[in-house]
Amino acid sequence: MSSTRRASEGRPFRQERFASAPEFERGLMANLVAKRCGLLDRPADRQLIWFLQLLSHQAGGIKQLAAELMAKYPGRVATETMRKFGTKPGKVYSAAQVRVLRKEFGIEKSDLPLYGEVNKGFLADCIINIPPEDDPYGMAAEDAKSYPKTYAAAEFQKYCISAAETDLEKCILSLCLDPAMPVADGAPWYFPTLISTLREFQGQWVKERQPQVVTSIGESVCGALEYSIARGRLVVINGTARTGKTHAAKVWCNLNPGSVRYVECPASNDDLSFFREIAASLGVSVNQNAKAQDLRMRIEETLRSGDLALVIDEAHYLWPSQRYYRASTPSRINWIMTALVNHGVGVALITTPQFFRHLSALEKLTCWTSDQFKGRIGRYVELPAVLSRDELEEVAGVLLPASNADCIRAVARYAESSGKYLGAMDAIADTAKYFCEIDGRQKVEFKDIERSIRESVTPSDEALKAALADASDTKRRRVSKVIAAPLQPDFGRNAAPPQGERFAVRETAPSRQVKPEMVPG
């Protein structure tokens, strides 16, 4: 950093003077972490490092992680000797144990004196400043009788906690970057089980993000992503909008924080914005003056290490916009093929049918052909357009966890008749919660669902239907001819939940049972 970027006191106020503040620095640079992981043989060690790198870019960064470790595992912030002696709350160390620990910690006797130990420093001071007739030896011996014979383990743990508060964050950062630091227990001295604790924390972090429901679409998405990361191949996952494929992909990426990164492809046509999004997802350093070429080199350096796969959502934006068809080739697609897939980097493209319409149009208008691209596709997955009613109700149950079966059934059946499908369910649940909060209640009731559908969602869907009346038919139109039809002719204030087949029912997939083993773990 330039040494000239300084602002002396008394100068006019300028925002830029704070641009170099260390508080704005966040996250470990992925290309440097990739170099560190390139020297580690065990996949589990590399996955742990990449997991920590991911956390470094989240709120609070590694500093927050260090605080969580100390709060969650307080008994582990202790030396090996302390762990042998015991560190449970209320544990008391004997005089012999105290002497061993004082020596290990380098603590002076005067800081934690034991019964009968004469304070030599005090005694020397007495000899110099107090007349002999006042008997300084007797005074020191008398004081020594007032010292405790034992000390609580907490007295020594204070020293470890103080060291951890100062040094633990730096230690974890060094673990991710320093090639000489082993990925094994034994250091630092105040937290010798740090590595095993980090592995345990990683497992718990993933467990907390296990999905409550896995639909058939989610299973297909997860299966394709697992293949991509295991074999380092290109996978294309194609499905209609609002069926949950993006949610499933994000959940799967959370379950594999040491192996994959999720990125949403920008709709812009330039390479710089594309590489910026990938760089931000990976944690590659990005500044305001960064050039596309520089970002591309850092991204390639990171991904070619072989540890991370890339999940690109909204992949239909990889193609150049239609106005550029005649003048350009699909540079983003070509880069994915030559810079990533050809080097064994797993890439999954999640898209809608627009992807192949763009491909076909580009081939007709340019000299570019899709043969090489198609040849690199290791697996193509066509997702179903609909979910079973059981699955819809399971999703509704996640959106409204405290609601009764009538509320969940109403929300699920409305989704069957709505062109927005799962988007309609989310809108109903969110609006119903809003009405519930306005009334000062905690639990969503059927009247909230009813009001949400009647006053908000149905009018919105009907307006959307009118606006799109002349639009071309989509694939889902064959299974849904009615958009946002009311659940029943009249919603009275105390109307009973709909029974039987009063809904304008959308065709659904067969019912299925979600088995425990279907949940990725």
- For residue 272, give the H/E element and its range: helix 271-282
Last residue of a domain, one of 177, 203, 229: 203
User: pLDDT over 70 for what percent of the chain?
Assistant: 78
pLDDT of residue 254 exceeding 80: yes
pLDDT of residue 105 exceeding 90: no
- For residue 93, give the H/E element and its range: strand 92-93
Same domain, yes or no, for 198 and 299?
no
pLDDT, position 281: 94
Confidence of residue 361 (pLDDT cuts 50, 70, 90): confident
Count Cβ neighbours within 10 Å for each residue of 92-112 and write b for 16 or more, e otherwise. Answer: bbeeebbeebbeebeeebeeb
Distance CA 79, CA 65 (A): 20
Residue 7 makes CB contacts below 8 A (sequence gap 6+) with: 14, 17
386 burial via Cβ count (<10 Å: 0-12, 13-18, 19+): buried
Examine residue 124 and state whether it is found in any structural domain, yes or no: no
pLDDT, position 202: 97
The count of other CB atoms within 10 Å of the CB of residue 220 is 18
pLDDT of residue 448 exceeding 80: yes
Print the domain residue range for 422. Answer: 389-518
User: What average pLDDT does this structure show over 421-435?
Assistant: 91
Q: Are strands 309-313 and 260-264 parallel, antiparallel or unpaired?
A: parallel
Q: Are strands 347-351 and 309-313 parallel, antiparallel or unpaired?
A: parallel
Examine residue 10 and state whether it is found in any structural domain, yes or no: no
Examine residue 12 and state whether it is found in any structural domain, yes or no: no
Examine residue 29 and state whether it is found in any structural domain, yes or no: no
Same domain, yes or no, for 443 and 357?
no
Same domain, yes or no, for 505 and 393?
yes
pLDDT, position 458: 79
- For residue 356, give the H/E element and its range: helix 354-365
Query: What helix, strand, coil percent values describe the chain, rounded to 5?
Result: 55, 5, 40
- Residue pair 352/209 in contact by the 8 Å Cβ criterion: no
- CATH number (domain holding residue 254): 3.40.50.300
pLDDT of residue 189 exceeding 80: yes
As a whole number, the mean pLDDT across the chain is 83
Examine residue 313 and state whether it is found in any structural domain, yes or no: yes
By residue count, the chain amounts to: 521
Residue 223 makes CB contacts below 8 A (sequence gap 6+) with: 381
Last residue of a domain, one of 141, 168, 203: 203
Higher pLDDT, 515 or 338: 338
| DSSP-derived secondary structure letter, 380 | E
Number of separate domains in the chain: 3
pLDDT of residue 117 exceeding 80: no
Last residue of a domain, one of 353, 382, 411: 382
Same domain, yes or no, for 397 and 378?
no
Distance CA 267, CA 222 (A): 25
- For residue 363, give the H/E element and its range: helix 354-365
pLDDT, position 116: 78
Examine residue 143 and state whether it is found in any structural domain, yes or no: no
Distance CA 494, CA 497 (A): 9
Instruction: Tell me the β-bridge partners of 351.
Output: 238
Same domain, yes or no, for 243 and 307?
yes
Examine residue 422 and state whether it is found in any structural domain, yes or no: yes
Confidence of residue 511 (pLDDT cuts 50, 70, 90): low
Residue type, 402: A
Same domain, yes or no, for 187 and 287?
no
Same domain, yes or no, for 487 and 508?
yes
pLDDT of residue 234 exceeding 80: yes
pLDDT, position 510: 62
| DSSP-derived secondary structure letter, 454 | I
Same domain, yes or no, for 174 and 44?
yes
Residue 250 makes CB contacts below 8 A (sequence gap 6+) with: 262
Q: What is the pTM of this model?
A: 0.79
What is the phi/psi pair of residue 85, to 5°? -75, -25
Same domain, yes or no, for 506 and 371?
no
pLDDT, position 327: 58
pLDDT of residue 55 exceeding 60: yes
Helices 389-399 and 405-417, packing angle to 10 deg: 120
Contacts for 201-205: CB closer than 8 Å, 24+ residues apart: 201/65, 201/68, 201/69, 201/72, 202/48, 202/51, 202/257, 202/258, 205/51, 205/257
Same domain, yes or no, for 82 and 230?
no
pLDDT of residue 518 exceeding 50: no
Selection from 281, 343, 344, 351 nearest residue 319 by Cα: 351
Examine residue 361 and state whether it is found in any structural domain, yes or no: yes
Tell me the per-residue pLDDT of 143-153, one tens digit each, with 9 for 90 and over. 677 788 899 98
Q: Give, in order, the Cα–Cα distances in Å from 319 to each of 6, 10, 74, 248, 347.
A: 45, 53, 52, 24, 16
Same domain, yes or no, for 228 and 376?
yes
Same domain, yes or no, for 328 and 411?
no
